[in-house]
Structure 1
Amino acid sequence: MKRNKKEIVLWHEFDGPGDTSIEVLEEICRLYTERFGIQVTPQVMNITALIAGLSRVKETGQGPHLAMVPADMSSYVEKGLYSEVPDGLFADVLTEAALSTMQMNGVQYGVPVLRGNHLVVYYNKEIYASAPTSWDVFEEAAEKLTAQDIVPIGADLKEGYWFIPFLSAFGGWPVEAGQPNIVTPEMKQALQFIREKMDQGVLASLDGSTGLLEQFIGGKVGAIISGEWIYNHLDKHMKDKLAVCQLPVIEGRQSLSMSSSIGLIYPNHSLTSGEREHILSFTRFMLSDECQSMWAVKVQRIPAHEEVLNRLAASTTPNKQNILSLLGNTRPMPTHPFMIHVWESMHTGLIELDSSNAEQALEKIDQTIHESLNAL
């Protein structure tokens, strides 16, 4: 095949050692390049760098042709100069529910490729004989496990997404009536709860892409709260020791994770560029039965393509069926433009909590959200 010298650049953040999704993304890019003669170059970076890069597109005029991002990053539309996706273009393979995860004010700014993106509890069956679906189980096991140098449960508690199950268990949610809702009594209760449980040694805060996984696989943490996206890595390393269950009930309330999608957005108005047809052709290729099946089979992700998803649900393992069923116990991730500032403020507060108390952390959240919104 004659090679075309044109190149399409795709940014993504499948960067952690446990995020095997990078294997399929790179393979899809290679296949497209070989079959269509258009070079698709994936560029990996961590989520902080990806956010920073997309946030500077309007300022610098520089950006990729596509980026594969969590759905809430559709809200970076103004800073990232996102192209609108033509109406109905992918309605033959994606449901309206899937498409809506990457809409902003009713306008389509992204195309979902993967679904789910939700948090579950992974637990070691050699440590917990049955599913630890209530927080009481972790507290009751704490003395015995601590004596064995095992932490009952871990999570990445410097990241707002991991904090949502605790906030939701106390009746909180970061959006109310279309406005930020993070300086609340429920937020303070959730912050107090995790500070107390960390102090008691029941709960450990560990980096979600490294320490959390390593210590869980190594048997130093009995259970972890983590994303469906990490299942393939854990399954490979833990095999029959690994099990999955719902997020825990805390003080009588069920924890809820957010759910969303991961999909393609088009920064720097790339769909008005000379590469428009190649970009849309690559998007269509990503949504093909072939590529969607690769995500499901090779790295055990949840495809956005409805038919492929239905096949997966009917034929997968009990652990994966649990993960799929737990999608029903989630709330859609908000995609309001102000969510950029909500996540930043929660992150700042959680870092503060690591070395102080709930009241100081809440003050930090309050200060940060007001400064961010006032700067708009």
Structure 2
Amino acid sequence: MREERETENKKELVVWHEFDGPGDTSIEVLEEICRLYSERYGVHIISEVMSIQELGDRLVDIEHTGKGPHMAFVPADMVVFKDRALLSEAPVELFASELGENMRLSMTMEGTAYGVPILTGNHLVLYYNKDIYAQPPASWEEIEQLSESLKQRGIKPIGGDMSQSYWFMPFFTAFGGWPLKDGKADLVNESMRDALQFVKSRIEQGVLANLDGPTALLEQFIAGELGAIICGEWIFNYLDRNLGQKLGVAKLPDIGGKPSVPFHSSIGLIYPNDSLESEDRESILSFTQFMLSEECQMKWAELVQRIPSNGNVQRNLLAQGSPNKQAILSLLDHSRTMPIHPNMIAIWASIGAGLDVLQKGQAESAYDAIVQREEMIINAVK
């Protein structure tokens, strides 16, 4: 049973997505593309927005309910839900002229593609206020040296959402950590212990402000109450609209001479509930092709300043984009591809459990919370 509606004899296809935050202007482009496709091809595309948590919950429920959308627009790692969401295999070879080989592989798990990438990037960068930092701080040591003078002016040196596993990962990598080793979780080690201690101590010292990512973090940065923030490339357009020439973009600050390496990934279309095996296959693939057209890909780049997956459009942006946009593109080279593996579901949850404890307790207690979940991680199944 598929979510489909018929009005005035026009076929309707449903797309689930999670562009739901107040700063996530991407919804503007998605809705515009859906409107254009409907006008030109006579197929009404219904976009249904929800939180990332609800999106994941609804996808994994499909195996029990048999109800799902024709498509979902999701971060690449959600292809790990392939069995529970009943994902169709994605025929990425049909889009070879738009997508390079590495891009076509970016939503692949265990040798099979389950999604078609539409956007890429999705990486954390340092945003800084040029009125506060004349030059971007290259290291945490530099931030700490400047912190007292900034705090005397009522300015918090740097902020991030340290309740989120994705925000924590660059600290873990700076201490030599990586979440997977030989396909198994690798969180219980000195790298994790040191990263938790580093984050906790900087929060306690007032160097690092721990704020809600979609709300307070952005609000205080725009108000000039934060000198810099760690946040994703996906929020650039919102910050650019609000800060203009004050906004700078740079690499995440090093820790003890070691780089803080964030993840990067794709965001693309997946096909739940075996939708590509249905009578709607051609309409679904036609919409996918439209999303990858240079016309639509340029809309993402020009209207909301996201990074398109189409190789030709990417090259044009590198040649012609603003300095900040070129910086965001170049910072992809300072990130690593986010692992797509069944065990990552439990890994994210386990880091999150540790960060929950870190908000209220000590770093060692947070580490213990992760250790306690190690057995669950190891035994995580698809």
TM range (shorter): over 0.9
Distance in structure 2 (CA, Å) of the matches to 1:333 and 1:187: 18
Alignment pair present for 1:120 and 2:125: yes
Q: Secondary structure at the match of 1:48?
A: helix
For residue 264 of structure 1, the aligned residue among 251, 266, 269 is 269
Alignment pair present for 1:138 and 2:143: yes
Alignment pair present for 1:215 and 2:220: yes
Deviations 1:26-48 (A, max 9, x none): 00001111111111000111111
Matched residue pairs, number?
A: 375
Alignment pair present for 1:367 and 2:368: no
> Following superposition of structure 1 onto structure 2, how do residues 50-65 of structure 1 map, counting pairs within 5 Å?
50-65=55-70
Letter in 2 for 1:74: V
TM-score after normalising by structure 2: 0.96
Question: Which residue of structure 1 aligns with residue 298 of structure 2?
Answer: 293
Gaps of 5+ in 2: 1-6
CA RMSD of aligned residues (A): 1.3
> Following superposition of structure 1 onto structure 2, how do residues 41-190 of structure 1 map, counting pairs within 5 Å?
41-86=46-91, 88-190=93-195
The CA deviation at 1:206 is 1.0
Identity level (%): 54
The CA deviation at 1:373 is 4.9
The CA deviation at 1:4 is 4.0
Distance in structure 2 (CA, Å) of the matches to 1:294 and 1:355: 43
The CA deviation at 1:87 is 5.2
The CA deviation at 1:90 is 1.1
The CA deviation at 1:375 is 6.4
Question: Which residue of structure 2 aligns with residue 247 of structure 1?
Answer: 252
Distance in structure 2 (CA, Å) of the matches to 1:282 and 1:368: 42
Change (3 A) 1:367 1:5: farther
Deviations 1:203-236 (A, max 9, x none): 0111111111111001111100111111110001
Moved over 6 A (4+): none
The CA deviation at 1:149 is 2.0
Deviations 1:150-205 (A, max 9, x none): 11011111111111110010000111122111121101100000000000000011
The CA deviation at 1:110 is 0.2
Conserved 8 A contact 1:3-1:38: no
Change (3 A) 1:297 1:375: closer
Distance in structure 1 (CA, Å) of the matches to 2:376 and 2:12: 40
Distance in structure 1 (CA, Å) of the matches to 2:264 and 2:8: 40
Deviations 1:6-53 (A, max 9, x none): 211101111111111110000000111111111100011111111111
Change (3 A) 1:89 1:251: same
The CA deviation at 1:371 is 3.0
Gaps of 5+ in 1: none
Q: Secondary structure at the match of 1:253?
A: coil
Question: Which residue of structure 2 aligns with residue 278 of structure 1?
Answer: 283
Deviations 1:37-75 (A, max 9, x none): 111000111111111111111122111111111111111
Distance in structure 1 (CA, Å) of the matches to 2:142 and 2:221: 17
Deviations 1:95-132 (A, max 9, x none): 11011110001101000000111111000011111111
For residue 196 of structure 1, the aligned residue among 201, 214, 223 is 201
Question: Which residue of structure 1 aligns with residue 38 of structure 2?
Answer: 33
Question: Which residue of structure 1 aligns with residue 312 of structure 2?
Answer: 307
